[in-house]
Amino acid sequence: MTRTDPPAGPSRPRDAHPLPDAQQRLLAQAARLSWWSIVLLGATSVLMVLAMGGSQAMKTALAEDLLSLLPPIGFLVAARFRRRAADTEYLNGRERAFDVAFLASAVALTAVGLLLVFDGVHTLATRAHPVIGNVEIAGTIIWKGWLMMGVLALSAIPPVVLGRMKLELAHELQLKPLHTDADMNKADWMTALAGIVGVAGIGFGLWWTDAAAAIFIAVEVLRDGVRNLRNAIRDHHDARPQQVDRNDTDDLVDRVHDAVAGLAWVRGVRVRLHEEGLRLSGVVWVRTGSGGLTSTQRLEAERRVRDTHWRIDTVDVTIDEDGQHMDTTA
């Protein structure tokens, strides 16, 4: 018989990054909003299917609404995985579950966006004239376009409200996938408006407005997908941490630098942090007057780093042997 050696690496998994009670409540609130998003967006999608006519714009708007279900579903799946404790397979836990869900949603958005753009351009190039008939409601015959525009207007209300609420939570939690989901929700009214314009154009005999509106919606879907895909890849490459809206560098790097630099025995500091879902981890290089680093000093510096913010998790403090580029946050 051959003996199987135990797997290499640490014998004990790293403990999961604990969240303060306030952030735990916010995360639970974000999960409830995700459930509401699935229910409300799913309901409006059903209404759009029932009111569906020959409008290419409305078909594309329906596809966009269905795609809007991906981020909340991904958030709920990622939140469930994140709660699992670290084990011998996932030594660092599952903190990056949100990043994985974000990447999967971005890939799906980009792929479907490309297909929708092609479909819209093909419809416009072939000069396909959409036809919207009539429908009988309570014994009255009305143009079905009115029903379609009403459903499109109704579909714009839930995303706007939910997007605003998610945006606030995203800033509190500094959770970028949730912020992207909120941006998509807020932009859904543009989709509904474009669909209404397309359907109205058919009513006025302007067949091309429907295809043009469909292309506009498809381009918005593709733009969201490409932007999210670029950001997701950036995060998986452990790039420099950014603000939740990605407009600027996360000031936590500077705050960690200043916290360690404030220790009496520190002569220089260099910080490198990267994001892992909700947490930040990394390395802090220090230069001391003695040229060495005692265990007491290391523990003091690591405690000072962790006290900077609840998102800071494991940060290794070590001596900078060459002393180059000190007093920077690179």
Residues of 156-174 as b/e, b for ≥16 C-beta within 10 angstroms?
A: bebbeebbebbbebbebbb
More confident residue, 187 or 159: 159
E strands, the chain, are: 134-137, 140-143, 266-276, 279-288, 312-319
Interatomic CA distance for residues 226 and 266, integer angstroms: 44
Give the rounded percent of residues in the chain with a pLDDT score beyond 70.
92
Interatomic CA distance for residues 235 and 174, integer angstroms: 14
Report all structural domains of the chain as residue ranges with CATH numbers, in order of start: 21-236 (1.20.1510.10), 252-319 (3.30.70.1350)
Instruction: Name the band, by pLDDT with cuts 50, 70 and 90, for residue 119.
Output: confident
Confidence (pLDDT) at 17: 61
Confidence (pLDDT) at 279: 84
| 83 pLDDT higher than 90 | no
Confidence (pLDDT) at 8: 44
Confidence (pLDDT) at 6: 42
**And the tokens for 219?**
């381009």
Instruction: Name the band, by pLDDT with cuts 50, 70 and 90, for residue 238.
Output: confident
Confidence (pLDDT) at 32: 94
> What mean pLDDT, rounded, does the chain reach?
82
Among 70-84, 124-138, 147-161, 167-181, name the one with the lowest average pLDDT. 124-138
| 324 pLDDT higher than 60 | no
Residue 87 CB: number of other CB atoms within 10 A? 10
Task: List, for residues 41-64, the tens digit of each pLDDT value.
Answer: 999 989 888 888 777 778 888 887
Tokens 């799906």 correspond to what residue?
Answer: 108
**And the tokens for 123?**
């419809």
Task: List, for residues 271-301, the tens digit of each pLDDT value.
Answer: 999 888 888 888 999 999 888 889 999 999 9
| 5 pLDDT higher than 60 | no
Among 3-7, 96-100, 186-190, 230-234, name the one with the lowest average pLDDT. 3-7
Interatomic CA distance for residues 282 and 330, integer angstroms: 12
| 4 pLDDT higher than 50 | no
* Mean pLDDT confidence for 87-109: 80
Q: Which of 169, 220, 291, 241 is nearest to 64 (CA)?
A: 220
Give the rounded percent of residues in the chain with a pLDDT score beyond 90.
19
Q: How does DSSP assign 186-218, residue by residue?
A: HHHHHHHHHHHHHHHHHHTT-HHHHHHHHHHHH
Strand partners, 135: 142
| 98 pLDDT higher than 60 | yes
Of the chain, the end-to-end C-alpha distance in Å amounts to 52
Instruction: Name the band, by pLDDT with cuts 50, 70 and 90, for residue 322.
Output: low
**And the tokens for 135?**
């429908």
Confidence (pLDDT) at 40: 92
